[in-house]
């Protein structure tokens, strides 16, 4: 904002109108109604209401944030409450209009049920309008309060509320997973009510979240720093123990979780493998590849063709024999598709790779290849992987194959990252011309990145085919490439743990919210925009990026980065 900072009454109207319009949008696309049955806190707060008033809260937050830079805190709070009031007025206006005019002819979602929801529990129209205004103002007020609270507290509250939200959403999953376990019953009874968290549970999680966050920010919680101070031998054994413990938990997970959660984790895992691969291409080497799904498809179809026992059966290999072929073919495709784009950069590369992804999809759908790969009918009866007599049939069992894949691929990515090859990739990402002038062979370095990334996708595709038992062209849409790219960005581009976090958020969370499916793209879009604005480095930034973007860690004492003072003779 280069303009002179100011905050006037018309700004309040503006912020309020934005909040109102976004809220109306959320209502009209049907989100509020779809989410209305998802109670977070027993009979009180549901996801629909959260979706309805989230815009008001956010705009109240932004308004207070801007206003307090110019005016007093009191004014800022007042402004945010007024913003909320205006936002509430928009919702009330929609309610009024919807009751008296048949909006349904244009907006299908404006059902009587929806209008009932907007009444917020009030019978009479007048009462409903007043309640909408009041709730709007109160939510806006809290948004403002959130902006004015010390960062430590607002952050802690955010963590607490996120945990409450997450636990509320996970109710069904928890009861599916642990419902029949004796130890869980009393806990479950305490935490959850019929629908949503019980008040006791909600408060418990809020306190836990806030407490944990405050404890962390107090600086006393620094396990990594404490370990770093230890002598090398002790440090090594501790990190070894941590790894072993982590692995043990990962190995034991399906036993505790059961079938449905394992299924979700397998899907997330397949995306993690793909994410780790694309992370090499995009995150390390900086080559924006939008056709990544092509290699996933090649891996899947290779396994499908080689192992299927159905109509399209060919050689009928086992999964383990087909797997290396799938990875190899995907890698080969990575090189072949890499060659024509060697001279391209940035946007051009993105467009061309986007085209490749589509070509593969169209070829798979074509009549020409239908006798071999089944066209739109796909390939059926792909046998499950088998070791000796043991068949990886259930999701709990496929989980281990995915886990092995992640560990393998993660290890490779981790080794490459800090090696000569990884440095060359990163140099390429930073400045291609200089990288070449430093002796890096562009062709082989780029092809190596494409090949490695494609091989990972091929592995993911192979596991995907075996997991589903049948594959269809529509599983290999552009949207897969976009999902993988988004999860890398959300996690933190170039960061390995970021891929895991990104996949859990973008692939795992939607599985928890089935109502969510229709709004998935809306959510992705909003999340990506929000990430770019608030946290462009991602949730778990690559180490160096984190340092670059945070101003908390100064350079060596007494030295500050300075801009060059240009003077020429």
Partner 1 sequence: MAETKSEFILETVNVTKQFGGLTAVKDLSIQVPQKSIYSVIGPNGAGKTTFFNCITGFYKVTEGDIILDGESIVGLRPDIIVKKGISRTYQNIRLFQNLTALENVMVGHHPRMKAGWFGAVFNTPGTRREEAETRKLAMDLLEFVGLKGYEYELATNLPYGQQRRLEIARALASEPKLLLLDEPTAGMNPSETEEMTEFIDNLRKELGITVLLIEHDMRVVMTISDIITVLDYGQKIAEGKPEEVRANPRVIEAYLGRGAATQHEAQAA
Site for partner 1, rule CB under 8 A:
411-412, 415-416, 419-424, 426-427, 430-431, 433-442, 448, 452, 544-545, 547-548, 555-556, 559-569
In the complex with partner 1, the residue whose CB is nearer, 46 or 452, is: 452
- Cβ neighbours for 319, distance < 8 A, ≥ 6 positions apart: 303, 307, 383, 384, 385, 386, 462, 466
Q: How many CB atoms sit inside 10 A of residue 85's CB? A: 24
Q: CB 555 → partner 1: shortest distance, Å?
A: 6
In the complex with partner 1, the residue whose CB is nearer, 119 or 426, is: 426
> What is the full DSSP assignment across 376-411?
GG-B--PPPPEETTEE--SHHHHHHHHHHHHHHHHH
Q: CB 291 → partner 1: shortest distance, Å?
A: 23
- Cβ neighbours for 394, distance < 8 A, ≥ 6 positions apart: 259, 262
Q: How far apart are CA 249 and CA 560, in angstroms?
A: 44
Residue 492 Ramachandran class (φ > 0 left, ψ -120 to 50 alpha, else beta)? left
Burial of 139 per CB tally in 10 Å (0-12, 13-18, 19+): buried
Eight-class DSSP state of 284: I
Q: CB 448 → partner 1: shortest distance, Å?
A: 6
Q: How far apart are CA 290 and CA 508, in angstroms?
A: 22
In the complex with partner 1, the residue whose CB is nearer, 258 or 491, is: 491
Q: CB 426 → partner 1: shortest distance, Å?
A: 6
In the complex with partner 1, the residue whose CB is nearer, 384 or 423, is: 423
Helix (H) or strand (E) holding 88: helix 73-100
Q: CB 542 → partner 1: shortest distance, Å?
A: 8
Q: Identify which of 451, 452, 523 has the alpha carbon closest to the alpha carbon of residue 487.
A: 523
In the complex with partner 1, the residue whose CB is nearer, 113 or 430, is: 430
For residues 459 and 302, the answer to whether their CB atoms sit within 8 Å is no
Q: How far apart are CA 428 and CA 447, in angstroms?
A: 12
In the complex with partner 1, the residue whose CB is nearer, 10 or 563, is: 563
Q: CB 535 → partner 1: shortest distance, Å?
A: 17
Q: CB 451 → partner 1: shortest distance, Å?
A: 9
Q: How far apart are CA 558 and CA 564, in angstroms?
A: 17
Bridge partners for 46 per DSSP: 39
Bridge partners for 197 per DSSP: 41, 192
For residues 275 and 505, the answer to whether their CB atoms sit within 8 Å is no
Q: CB 223 → partner 1: shortest distance, Å?
A: 21
Q: Identify which of 446, 542, 214, 7 has the alpha carbon closest to the alpha carbon of residue 454.
A: 446
Q: Identify which of 149, 5, 166, 127 has the alpha carbon closest to the alpha carbon of residue 80.
A: 149
Q: CB 405 → partner 1: shortest distance, Å?
A: 15
Q: CB 358 → partner 1: shortest distance, Å?
A: 30
In the complex with partner 1, the residue whose CB is nearer, 77 or 421, is: 421
Bridge partners for 99 per DSSP: none
In the complex with partner 1, the residue whose CB is nearer, 194 or 568, is: 568
Q: CB 449 → partner 1: shortest distance, Å?
A: 10
Measure CA 495 to chain center: 14
In the complex with partner 1, the residue whose CB is nearer, 82 or 278, is: 278
Q: Identify which of 49, 31, 25 has the alpha carbon closest to the alpha carbon of residue 513.
A: 31
In the complex with partner 1, the residue whose CB is nearer, 25 or 411, is: 411
In the complex with partner 1, the residue whose CB is nearer, 437 or 534, is: 437
Q: CB 438 → partner 1: shortest distance, Å?
A: 6
In the complex with partner 1, the residue whose CB is nearer, 239 or 550, is: 550
Q: CB 287 → partner 1: shortest distance, Å?
A: 16
Q: Identify which of 452, 459, 461 has the alpha carbon closest to the alpha carbon of residue 297.
A: 461
Measure CA 369 to chain center: 35
Q: Identify which of 359, 260, 307, 334 has the alpha carbon closest to the alpha carbon of residue 465.
A: 307
In the complex with partner 1, the residue whose CB is nearer, 10 or 232, is: 232
For residues 168 and 196, the answer to whether their CB atoms sit within 8 Å is yes
In the complex with partner 1, the residue whose CB is nearer, 220 or 420, is: 420
Q: CB 415 → partner 1: shortest distance, Å?
A: 5
Q: How far apart are CA 495 and CA 417, in angstroms?
A: 10
């Amino acid at each position: 904002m280069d303009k002179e900072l100011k905050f006037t009454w018309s700004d309040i109207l503006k912020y309020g109108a934005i909040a109102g319009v976004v809220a109306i949008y959320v209502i009209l696309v049907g989100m509020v109604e779809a989410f209305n049955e998802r109670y977070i806190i027993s009979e009180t707060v549901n996801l629909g209401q959260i979706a309805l008033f989230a815009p008001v809260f956010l705009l109240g937050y932004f308004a207070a944030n801007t206003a307090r830079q110019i005016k007093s805190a009191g004014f800022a709070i007042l402004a945010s409450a007024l913003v909320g009031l205006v936002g509430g007025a928009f919702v009330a206006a929609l309610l009024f209009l919807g009751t008296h005019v048949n909006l349904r002819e244009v907006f299908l979602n404006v059902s009587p049920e929806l209008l009932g929801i907007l009444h917020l529990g009030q019978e009479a129209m007048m009462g409903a309008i007043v309640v909408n205004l009041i709730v709007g103002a109160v939510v806006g007020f809290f948004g403002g309060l959130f902006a004015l609270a010390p960062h430590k507290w607002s952050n802690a509250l955010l963590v607490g509320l996120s945990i409450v939200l997450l636990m509320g959403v996970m109710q069904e999953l928890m009861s599916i997973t642990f419902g029949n376990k004796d130890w869980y019953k009393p806990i479950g009874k305490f935490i959850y009510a019929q629908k949503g968290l019980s008040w006791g549970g909600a408060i418990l999680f809020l306190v836990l979240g806030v407490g944990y966050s405050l404890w962390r920010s107090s600086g006393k919680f620094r396990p990594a720093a404490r370990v770093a101070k230890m002598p090398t031998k002790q440090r090594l054994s501790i990190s070894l123990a941590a790894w072993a413990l982590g692995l043990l938990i990962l190995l034991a997970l399906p036993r505790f979780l059961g079938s449905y959660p394992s299924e979700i984790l397998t899907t997330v895992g397949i995306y993690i493998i793909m994410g780790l691969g694309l992370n090499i291409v995009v995150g390390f080497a900086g080559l924006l590849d939008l056709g990544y799904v092509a290699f996933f498809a090649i891996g899947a179809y290779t396994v499908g063709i080689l192992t299927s026992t159905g109509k399209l059966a060919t050689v009928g290999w086992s999964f383990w024999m087909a797997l290396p072929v799938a990875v190899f073919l995907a890698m080969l495709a990575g090189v072949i598709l890499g060659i024509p784009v060697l001279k391209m950069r940035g946007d051009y590369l993105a467009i061309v790779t986007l085209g490749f992804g589509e070509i593969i999809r169209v070829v798979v759908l074509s009549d020409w290849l239908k006798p071999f790969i089944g066209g739109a009918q796909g390939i059926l009866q792909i046998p499950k992987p088998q070791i000796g007599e043991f068949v990886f049939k259930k999701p709990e069992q496929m989980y281990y194959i995915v886990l092995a894949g992640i560990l393998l691929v993660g290890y490779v990515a981790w080794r490459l990252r800090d090696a000569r090859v990884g440095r060359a990739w990163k140099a390429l990402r930073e400045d291609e011309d200089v990288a070449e002038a430093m002796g890096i062979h562009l062709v082989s370095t780029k092809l190596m990145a494409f090949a490695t990334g494609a091989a990972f996708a091929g592995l993911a595709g192979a596991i995907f085919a075996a997991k589903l038992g049948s594959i269809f062209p529509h599983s290999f849409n552009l949207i897969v490439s976009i999902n993988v790219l988004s999860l890398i960005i959300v996690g933190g581009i170039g960061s390995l743990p970021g891929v895991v976090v990104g996949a859990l958020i973008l692939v795992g969370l939607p599985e928890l919210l089935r109502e969510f499916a229709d709004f998935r793209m809306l959510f992705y879009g909003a999340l990506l925009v929000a990430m770019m604005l608030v946290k462009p480095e991602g949730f778990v930034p690559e180490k160096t990026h984190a340092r670059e973007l945070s101003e908390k860690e100064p350079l060596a004492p007494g030295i500050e980065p300075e801009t060059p003072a240009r003077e020429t003779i």
